[in-house]
Structure 1
């Protein structure tokens, strides 16, 4: 809308002079018209255009910054969801591949073999690798785990206490699939550690664990799985053991299991047993370098 104009009629008086020095005569009025627009009327205030432009610019900058932050947050969330989805798909694929290898087995044996397969695949991953450009002094990185998940560190070795009941040979196969073997007990301190852990894990008196000791090659010639002979001064046989009892199995008892619920003060908890008897087991392997 065009601004309205206002007409002001201003009246002035002008005196007529007398060249003869006589008294001036009556003043004559003079008129003058002055136009003002409403926006320019004297005494009115008009806001500065520069202040308005500055306020609009600040609002636009703030809105732009908020938009960028929101876009970044949405992008980060999308990347995280994508990575989680890919991980779940990979694990599902591994499980399907392991199950496909053992479709003809019965349910119990199939479950055991699938478990071994997944354990072997996952154990091959290296969760903690630190690449260094130079060779620093050999200092142990304590931030890296010494043993894989499910394994317990002690005395420079990692121990796995399997809750699956298998024959002695099957238990050894399980340990080997995880790059270990049935435990070889080298000293009294190691026996103390194992006895303490088993006393916590055993549920019943017969809930025992295979160790890597057998005389299956030659009767009464006890050998560890690393082919070392049993040291007679370092044995922990339970009273009246080994007895090679043939009542349950004609071939006798050629493998060793261990464990006493609630522990034993003298650490003598070894018992010979038929190698075909299903038992839990103890695996061991060296700690990571």
Structure 2
């Protein structure tokens, strides 16, 4: 065969061997499917490993969540138990407080009742004292009328029911007025009844006069009034709205121009005073 014919034959044979036909590829169709199978197997292994890892992670998370849930439930039970104990303590404290308040109210009621009884007893004692003094004055007056040896009242002093009264023309504080009366052997007037009150009112001559009456003050509050001899007040002739303890400093009593009584500051120097002393027979 000529040279050109051989070359053509070799080229054709080469094409037939390495051409694009499937039957001429090494391994053929099965070789290509084998490579895809390897890839699929690798992917399957990767997915299996990922699935196992996710399952492991989920198992760990679920286990941790379960542990935390049990811990929370335990704390909840503990809080519930402590809450019940606290409620019982609070209920017991409320009960004890109610009992203490009831006892306190009962004691206050008993104390008030005792105070009322004491006040009533003092008032009755004061009325008895005034009654005895009135009867004594009347007896002394009767003796005086039948016995000329009774001492007359000093000059400028007015007699009434066995006593002598001085209506001062000077003005002074309550304390200074009492000192002036004591220097004359007397004391600030003690008003025992309506008759004596009428006698004093008739002789005030439109001026104000200190009386021998002061407030009894405890813890800044007035508890009552008593005369200069320590006897609690029983008879009184207070003016309307008095005593009012204005500004918390009116501890002394005085007689207004009308004859009615008023409470006033003891350091007031605008009032006169009335002294009283017993006549001696």
- Normalised TM-score (structure 2): 0.45
Which has a greater percent of helix?
2
- Normalised TM-score (structure 1): 0.44
Which is greater in Rg?
Answer: 2
